[in-house]
Chains A and B, each alone.
Chain A
Amino acid sequence: MPITSHYLVKRAIYMLLSVFGVSIIGFALFRLLPGDPVELMVGPGYFAKEEMAALRARLGLDQPIYIQYFIWLRDFLSGNFGRSFRFDLNVLDLIIERLPATLELIIFSVIIALIIGVSIGVISAVRPGSWADRISQTTSFVGFAIPHFLWGIIFVVVFSAALRILPASGRLDMDIEVNKITGFMLIDTLLQGNVSAFTNALTHIILPGLALSMGLIAMIHRTLRSSMLDVLNEDYIFTDRMKGLNERYIIYVRALKNALMPVITIVGIQFTFLLGGSILVEKIYGWPGLGNLVFTAVQYQDLSLVQGIIMIYAVIVVLTNFAVDLIYTLVNPKVEFK
């Protein structure tokens, strides 16, 4: 039994404590930032001082920060994320509406990164010093050095403006209607058997997905190359070869399985970074996800919305880390969590 119930309970407590800690830091940070959210909210509305004070009181912003926090925590625990004063909508509704778009983009980019990163990582490790290795090492260096948003701009210029083969923005062509089931466009189109809409959604996600995955491809490639080189020098691989096992079987099954362990860690950690990276990529590609929402929420100091998004991000991060641990045990049953 690689995971014990005791471990699960302990882990759950740690996860709750992490989320709780993030909630305090996020709450304090945005309330201590310079700037008056009420002033931003009313803008040039020519509100009188008294009216501004009344509005501030209505939003609870006239209370000491710790009281504000406890009020927020009470509401949050009862499932009330508050109301966004920028959008005048329930924060949870706003997040639920946009979260699938962001998750779809991130998961898609992780899949792309895994396919490309693992492929070139294996090639590099199997033939170290070869042309293929040198080219992939240089490419991954470039991929790593250039930030997500810059890749986004490069891809838009090359594939949308110059070649005109992929769309520059949105999730789907405007004329295509897809009923919302999961909110994941690729899945919804398939569930409805709408192949042309699926293809259309795929063409829309390729560029932002690729822009987001470039750094991760590079990391996977370099990590896998290094771990694979180590694994290929292990005694058990030597033994396998001595046994006359097929070289492909040795590389892709026997060696890769163990070499993938650090890759899983990298993907887990990077998944959370991709959440951050998606903010600018979504802006460039007009992707209607959480990234755009974060942008607006921070710009207008929409405190309820900022806090709601922070909480969702925190939950995603701790769950991703937990999922990574579970995957460890699947890939390598020798790994035990007690």
Chain B
Amino acid sequence: MPPVNEMMMFKLCEVFSESIPMAVIQLKNVLEVGGDVDWIVVGAFLVSIMFVAEAVSYMTYMKDISEESRSTGKIFYGFMPLSGHRMHVVKISLLCMSFSCCTAKSLEIVVLLQVGGPFLAAQVLGADLGIYLIYKFARNDFRYWIPLPRGTSLIASFALRVMVKIVTDFTGFLHARHPFEMGGFYWFINMIMTQVGVFGALMVKQEFGWREGEGEVVVLPEEERVLKDEDYLKLAVLNFALWLISMAGLYIASEKKFNHTFYSLVTGKQFCRKLFETDQAMTIMEIFNCHRR
């Protein structure tokens, strides 16, 4: 396994199992805090989100510029300019996009928790995930590319598809637009759904209000909270503006001939075939050695 892949898997593990849940829990507490704000806790929340954004954008960057990726996957890797202002614009856009996605999805989940508790949040996340898995099945693109025995392959495919979907929901993980992962088209739709989801959740909250506190759940009256309910909308709008700017930056500054990868409908199998047709010995060897037949 190349070092870049080991690093990516290690970081993905951390983002999936720690950074994302921590960001949601901390955002919930920050939004519901009363007058006595502990600024270190607020700082810790920002550190969590920054960590997610940095980890994900760095993974995308390293995977895209690695020698191995660009030699064996040249029809996909290469959107990142290797020098000049455009490279910095793409890097900053990646960071801002991840930051914005993490804030948006966390805010959506927190608002759903406030309105209907964990059950409502789980239902919405589950439905979103279900639609994605149905899409993959419908396009005959569910099984992951790693060569494994059939049973193991199905279980591993399910686990990996779920993991990548959740990470992408919360981070806008740009590498997920790879046809072996979500594919460009679904990645783009997912980005839009993440932003739309926040406003949807805020509308639901406006309609149904806060749920009653249960057990340890004690909701402070609005006048005692630092952030009032109307501030959520301002936060969502600001975050949406950041996302729009970062998407524009990404599209304008990245290498033009790879722009199609942001909305491509190519499936994993079709991509493998395209790679095969490049007629490069190294690529063909990799397809036979490292991919499911």
Do A and B truly interact?
Answer: no
